[in-house]
Structure 1
Amino acid sequence: MSSQSPLLPRFRLFLTCCSIAANALLAGGIFTFPLLSPSLALHLKLTQPQLTTIVLSGMMGQYPFSAFAGKVIDRHGPWATSLVASALFSTGFGLFAWEISKTPDDIAAPSQSSFRHLTLCFFMAGLGTVFSYFSFLFAASKSFPSSIGFASGASTALFGLSPLFLSFVASTFFTDPVTGLNVTKFLTFLAITAGSVHFVGAFNLRLPSTVSPTALEPQETTPLSDNDVEGQSGADERDPLLPHKPRAEVTVVPVEEDGSALDLLRDPQFWWLACIVMITLGSCEMVVSNIGTIVLSLPGSSSTAGSATFNPSTDAATSKQVRLLSLASTLSRLLSGPLADFVSPVASHLPGGAPITRKHFVSRVGFLSGATLLLAGTFTALEIVVKSQDDLWLLSVGTGVVYGTTFTIMPSLISSIWGHANFGRNFGILTYAPFVGTPIFSYLYAFISAAHAGGEGVCVGHECWRLTFWIGVGTAFIACAVSLGLWRQWKGRV
């Protein structure tokens, strides 16, 4: 009996990990919109601003209720957000597929009612994405609190892999070599599978109130001296390792665990971080949303000019860029999380109350600074180097790395600076930053593209996006400067 008692918690943890992985892998349906946009533009006669509005409804649908989703996590746990995501995915993708199926292919002008319905449906799918994201991210973080960087990096890496996985499914099972992607059947598949997986997650993500890994037990048994409360906590067997380099350790800075949302908003450093996130993620999501029409604007390997008409090679080129974005985002999350845990261990507190203090090499904010510089370099390369669809891998890979790294670093920064008690709420509030940045950059792209389209619907040529990405270069350098200021402010803390 006693020998079997540890099996149940291990089995429960195994089921939790399976649901974390499944939720993450099926949560990225809205990021496959570039696969849908050519068909929507050519068969439903939707214009670039209309396409941008639909995809923005999904991208921005992730953010309006993110603080609420975080509060649900703090109060009830990941199972509740997984259940909500199940209902939203099934309804959003299902109604989107139904609206397309009842619209004739031979219409001469876009239907305003269909446009509004598609926008609302994609908003629901985007809202489901944020509830799904919170379910697997916080389930992973709370299940492995001593390795929050690895846990968040691995789980969000699968989320980054989701568009790659779904685009592979779309091209393998729902794409005809002549007619291209069957949008209706693919969206029906998303409605059924994403809804079912998240419904099962509502049962598997019921976590215990505290998680105390056995590897952390020695820290709970270390008594704190009354005279050593500040600066010498845990000053036992770890002290001889670095006796002459106290600055090599992370400074454990007290945080206000019960601070209100108003206290967070009064902190100017929060607004600095929000500015970085707004610019970085807003620019990246503009690329993610519009990579399909960027492909259409450029000549293919066998042509001399871009084409606004559908052909199988264009569909394949778009699918390739979606997969590159997904793969780059996935690898960056897998690498940046563990690397940040090693070179930039956060000053956090475990459930037993003992602080984690390990050798600190560089500030975790440095990852944000590097991401902003890479973003500026990627956009500059697009302007100077990219001449055809074959060169777009520079944009896709660079954007994917920046996107994945930023999202991986954010949770550990928030928990380290503003505490764990309201971690979900604080993370949700910060995600309002891309809620502002994404529409700014996306509509900038849309209207500049429409201005050069010449009334043809889909713009062709480099001028469709040249001004947009030069503006993106400038804002990326602004975000880099702000991150350097935070690096100095948070020296020794993260």
Structure 2
Amino acid sequence: MLSIPHRTRLMLVCCAVGAVASSSGGIFTFPILSPALVSHLKLTQPQLTTIVLAGVAGQYPFAVFVGKVVDTYGPWVCSLASAGLLSSGFGLFAWEIAKTPDDISLPSQSSFYRLTLFYFMCGLGTVFGLFTSLFAASKNFPQHLGFASGGSMAMFGLSPLFLTYVASGFYFSSETGLDVTSYVTFLAIYSGIVHVGAAMILCLPADEKAVVDAGPSAGAAPTLSDASSSSVPSERDSLLPKGAHIDVEIVDVQLKGSNDSAWNLVKDPDFWLLFFVTFAILGSVSTCEMVISNIGSITLSLPSVRTAGFVALDRETDIATSTQVRVISLSNTVARLVSGPLADFISPIASYLPSGVRSYPRKHWISRMAFTVGAGVLCVLGFLSLEIAIRSQASLWWLSVCTGTAYGVMFTVLPSILSAVWGADNLGRNFGIMSYAAFVGTPTFSYLYAFVAERHAERGVCTGVDCWTLTFWVVAGSVSASCLVSSLLWRRWRGLC
């Protein structure tokens, strides 16, 4: 296959990453599909919940498998798999809706099962698409892991917004509402074309001379095999990358092998310490996802500005809830776009000479673990504010900003920390395993919130601070503990990240 110039290929990779990220969030537009599924297919609320959970919650269990695929075969294979799963899943979903008669009075159980299976296929295609964009960016820009991971995940997070605008602009009628069949068919065709095109770009070889001139990435620690397989240097070759900041101290930390098996990874106590930090901040006991999942009921439990007491589910409360969701989304996106480049600038990943001397492409100011500590502190501040000061819907913006920002920062720096400490060879697999922390934490502490609120509910609706006081004291304590663990890892990983 004919190679192309390295810089040209990188530009094409950026286009592919952006296209894949912006087209992979179709399953998150399910709320605009559900009214038509109720009216046309007569599906019940539990059936709708089952369908959407098959797509959304079904992503996490396969994260390790998808990560192993991207490590072994490359992002282009994941892009092809995503194309097949999204196109077939959305296509069959649209076909099932189209073939159902309009005059049915009861939902078809077999149709419900098929829709669940088809949406599960879409969910699996989504995680393939996410890993395609994330690791295509990370592997092609190893010296800018923060910017690469933050930018790709930010575009993925904005994908539902983009697709919703497409639906409202081209497939919505004021008389009949959303044409679900046509919109879902568009998702099938669009995602298939984009992901196949991205796969073709991502498998293009770069110009060999440009790759050699670029030198080894600074993101991975050297191994003995790396040294033996490298080309023989000449007397004109530089010992360090051009412009590197040299730290003449001998490395005083144990470098972790980049080719370790999954078993060696899970035996590493440091991995489980980082797992707990991720569990606490992203998934559970002070978890941002728990707040995102329950921001509507938290808003409902507080009095509105224009009423002296609590209000029912009226338009004013709906607007307040929508506002908090938007604030969380905006904070999350901005945090990803800012924290990635900032981490690359003040916390560059070190490279190592065979002698043990470490070097940085720029001056290294602080460890990336400072970002996880900062994310935890933001969570604690938000939760304590809710416990002590926030007593109206208008004041909830501070909680939304803190949780959205912490959520974005943590997800952005996590891939680069894993790459710096355990190497880039198995980054996809390691990130997949680490994502189980959020998978376990989110339902665990969401149910904690639900049970506490249910205990204080009257006539089905919980109002007042008793709905969440116990929950947020527990989560504040958990995140405080995660901050201490992050500080410990900060000290143990001095010089690694």
User: In structure 2, what is the equivalent of residue 404 of structure 1?
Assistant: 408
What do residues 292-340 of structure 1 show as CA deviations (whole Å, max 9, x unaligned)? 454555555666534346x5x6665554434332322221111111111
Q: How far apart are the structure 2 equivalents of 1:123 and 1:151? A: 28
Counterpart in 2 of 1:212? 211
**SS, match of residue 266 in structure 2:** helix
Question: What code does the residue aligned with 1:46 have?
Answer: Q
Q: Could you tell which deviates more after superposition, 158-167 or 116-125?
A: 116-125
Distance in 2 (CA, whole Å) between partners of 1:300 and 1:477 is 31
Partner of 1:265: 266
Instruction: Name the structure 2 match of 1:201.
Output: 198
Q: 1:234 aligns with which of 209, 226, 239?
A: 239
CA distance in 1, matches of 2:66, 2:53: 20
* Contact 2:86 2:188 (8 Å CA) reproduced: yes
Match for residue 416 of structure 1 among 398, 420, 424: 420
Please give the root-mean-square deviation of Cα atoms over the aligned residues, in Å: 4.6
2:327 to 324, 328, 336: 324
Map residues 69-468 of structure 1 onto 2, 5 A cutoff: 69-90=66-87, 92=89, 123-166=120-163, 168-169=165-166, 190-208=187-205, 212=211, 214=213, 216=215, 223=233, 234=239, 246=248, 254-282=255-283, 283-295=287-299, 305-308=310-313, 311=315, 316-348=319-351, 357=360, 358-452=362-456, 454=458, 456=460, 463-468=466-471
CA contact (8 A) 2:143 2:217 kept: no
Q: Which position in structure 2 is the counterpart of 1:26?
A: 23
| SS across alignment from 1:338 | helix
Distance 1:41 1:314, change over 3 A: farther
Question: How far 1:169 sits from its partner (Å)?
Answer: 5.0
Once the two structures are TM-superposed, the CA of residue 261 in structure 1 deviates from its matched residue by 0.9
Structure 1 residue 476 corresponds to structure 2 residue 479:
yes
Deviations 1:18-66 (A, max 9, x none): 120011123334555677789999996637xx88776655443222111
Helix, strand or coil at the partner of 1:414: helix
Counterparts in 2 of 1:55 and 1:395: CA distance versus 1, 3 Å: farther
Q: Which amino acid aligns with 1:360?
A: H
Higher alpha-carbon deviation: 272-281 or 319-328: 319-328
> Please, which moves more after superposition, 331-340 or 8-17?
8-17
Aligned to 2:45: 46
Partners in 1 of 2:459 and 2:179 — Cα distance?
27
CA 1:372/1:174 → structure 2, altered by over 3 Å: closer, same or farther? farther
Gaps of 5+ in 1: 226-232
Aligned-partner residue type, residue 15 of structure 1: L
Match of 2:224 in 1: none
| Distance in 2 (alpha carbons) for counterparts of 1:422 and 1:95 | 34
Residue 223 to residue 129, structure 1, CA distance change in 2 (3 Å): same
When residues 330 and 64 of structure 1 are mapped into structure 2, their CA distance, relative to the original with a 3 A threshold, is: same
| One-letter identity of the residue aligned with 2:72 | R
Q: Which residue of 2 aligns with 1:489?
A: 492
Contact 2:17 2:133 in 1 (8 A): yes
Gaps of 5+ in 2: 219-229
In the TM superposition, what whole-angstrom CA distance separates every residue of 1:389-409 from its partner, at most 9, and x where no partner exists?
444333332222111111111
State the Cα deviation string for residues 136-182 of structure 1 (Å, max 9, x = none). 11111122222222222222222233344345556666778999988
**Cα deviation 1:258-282 (Å, max 9, x = unaligned):** 2111111110000111111112111
The change in CA–CA distance for 1:192 and 1:324 in structure 2 (over 3 A counts) is farther
Q: CA, structure 1 residues 34+347, in 2 after alignment: closer, same or farther (shift >3 Å)?
A: farther
User: For the residues of structure 1 that align with 2:140 and 2:161, how far apart are their CA atoms?
Assistant: 26
Of residues 63, 72, 80, the one that matches 1:66 is 63
TM-score (norm 1): 0.77
d(CA) in 2 for partners of 1:7, 1:168: 36
Query: More deviation in 8-17 or 482-491?
Result: 8-17
Q: How many residues align?
A: 471
Task: Indicate the SS of the match to 1:148.
Answer: helix
Counterpart AA for 1:212:
V
Alignment partner for residue 11 of structure 2, among 9, 14, 23? 14
8 Å Cα contact 2:94/2:184 also seen in 1: yes
Q: What are the superposed Cα offsets for residues 92-135 of structure 1, whole Å, 9 maximum, x if unpaired? A: 55666788897999999x99988877765554443333211110
- Kindly state the Cα deviation for residue 79 of structure 1 after the two structures are TM-superposed: 1.5
Contact kept, 8 Å, 1:276 with 1:480, in 2: the verdict is: yes
1:287 Cα offset (Å): 2.9
